[in-house]
Structure 1
Amino acid sequence: MTSDAPAPFDLRRLDAAGATALAPALAEVLVDCVAGGASVSFMHPLDPARALAFWQGVAAGVAAGDRALFVAEEAGAVLGTVQLLLGMPENQPHRGEIAKMLVRRTARGRGIGTALMRAAEALAVEQGRTLLVLDTAEGGEGERLYRRLGWVAVGTIPRYALHPDGRPCGSTFFYRDLST
C-alpha cells in the first residue's frame, strides 16, 4: 500500500561547525529561493559565490552566539532553513528576530516552514525571549505562513524593498508574543 503523505524530514539546530559544513548547501537553497522570487535581501540572478559568502557570515554569527540556525533535511539534502537572531541591544534582551526563513521550491507544502518556525520559537522561549519580530514581502507565501502560525501583523510599509527582479515590494512586519 502506498501513501500520498509527504516523506518525513529531519530538523536540527546547527552549531558553528555544522553551519560552516552546510554553507554550500544553504547557498543552493538561497539561490533557489531568490530565483523563485523570494524578497530576502538579494537580487536575481544571485551569484552562488555571493550566497556562499553570506552563509559563511551566518556561520560566524552562530559561532559568536549572535544567532541560531536551523535546517530541515531529507536524505542529506537541505530543504529549508531559518535563523533566530539573538544578538540584540542591551535594552532588548527579551526579544529576538526571525530571519531568512527559506524552503526550497520543490519542498514546499510539506510543513517544513511550520516546523522551522516552531523550532525557532521554542528555542526563543528556552533562551528567555518573550517577543519575536520579523518582516516579509507583502502578499507572499511567508505572510500567509506567519498569519497561519498566529503571528500578528502590525503594518505594511510600501516599497520597503525590491523583489529579486527589481520590482518594488512592500514589507509586512509581524510580532509574536511568547510570554503567554
Structure 2
Amino acid sequence: MGAVSLRFVLDPDLTPHLRGAIVDLWTDVSNAGGAVGFVPPVTAADVRTIADPTFAGIAEGPDRLLVGYVGDRLVAVLIFSDNRFPLKAHWCVLKRVMVHPDTQGTGYGAALMREAARLGAEMGHEALHVTVRDGLGLDGFYRRLGYREIGRLPGALRVAPGDDRDEILMWLDLTADGLTGQTAR
C-alpha cells in the first residue's frame, strides 16, 4: 500500500530549500482546487504572503511542522498550531493540511492524519481540531478518520462572487482511538 512508504519528520530544520518545497506544494495543492486558503489560479508569490508568517510561527515557535516524504520528495505537510492561550492548551488546531495532488488516492492523506493523531496524543493534546471548506467532500474524509462535526460558520468562505461556502469545524477526541473506538492507553 502506498501510505507505508511515507516517511514523516516532526520539526524538521526549516531551511530555505524546505520553505521553497512547502511553497511549491502549497501552490500545487491550491491550483488543483485544494482548500488551503486560496482559490486557483495562485502563484508561489501569492502563497508566500501567507507562507512567510506561517514559517515565522514555526521557526520562532510555538507552532510545529510535520512533513511527509516519499524518498526525498515532499508530498505531505501539516502544522500543529498552538492555541496560544492556557485555557486551550489541552487541544490543538491542525492547519495547512496538504498532500500533493498527484498522490491523491494513495492513502497518504489518511496516513498523515493518523500520524498527526499519534503525535498529538504524544504531545499531550486531548483533541485535534481542523476546519474544512464545505462543498469538496473533505468532511467525509475526516469523518472516516474519527473526526466529528462540531459546528459550521455559514457562508464564511467566499471562494468566488456568489459562491460562499460554510466552514465546517471538525474535532477528534484523542482520549479514544477514533479509528477503532478503543480507549487510548
The alignment status of 1:66 with 2:62, answered yes or no, reads yes
* Counterpart selection for 2:7 from 2, 7, 10: 10
* Counterpart selection for 2:92 from 77, 92, 96: 96
The alignment status of 1:41 with 2:47, answered yes or no, reads no
Maintained 8 Å contact 1:88/1:95: no
* Counterpart selection for 2:120 from 124, 131, 141: 124
The alignment status of 1:105 with 2:101, answered yes or no, reads yes
* Counterpart selection for 2:26 from 30, 35, 38: 30
Maintained 8 Å contact 1:94/1:131: yes
After superposition, give the CA deviation of every residue in 1:63-101 in whole Å (9 maximum; x if it has no partner). Answer: 233211111212322112111112431211111001111
Counterpart Cα distance in 1 of 2:135 and 2:119: 27
Letter in 1 for 2:19: A
Counterpart Cα distance in 2 of 1:87 and 1:66: 9
With normalisation by structure 1, the TM-score equals 0.85
- Alpha-carbon distance, 1:20 to partner: 4.3
Maintained 8 Å contact 2:83/2:93: no
Matched residue of 1:41: which SS? coil
Maintained 8 Å contact 2:128/2:174: yes
Maintained 8 Å contact 2:2/2:107: no
Letter in 2 for 1:27: V
Q: CA RMSD in A?
A: 2.1
After superposition, give the CA deviation of every residue in 1:104-163 in whole Å (9 maximum; x if it has no partner). Answer: 111111111111112222222122111221110114243222111000112333211023
Identity value in percent: 22
Maintained 8 Å contact 1:138/1:156: no
Could you list the runs of 5+ residues in structure 1 that have no partner in the other structure?
none
Could you list the runs of 5+ residues in structure 2 that have no partner in the other structure?
177-185
Matched residue of 1:114: which SS? helix
Letter in 1 for 2:58: V
- Alpha-carbon distance, 1:58 to partner: 2.7
Letter in 2 for 1:29: L
Counterpart Cα distance in 2 of 1:140 and 1:154: 18
Matched residue of 1:91: which SS? helix
Letter in 2 for 1:22: L
Matched residue of 2:18: which SS? helix
- Alpha-carbon distance, 1:30 to partner: 1.0
- Alpha-carbon distance, 1:53 to partner: 4.6
Query: Equivalent residue for 1:51?
Result: 47
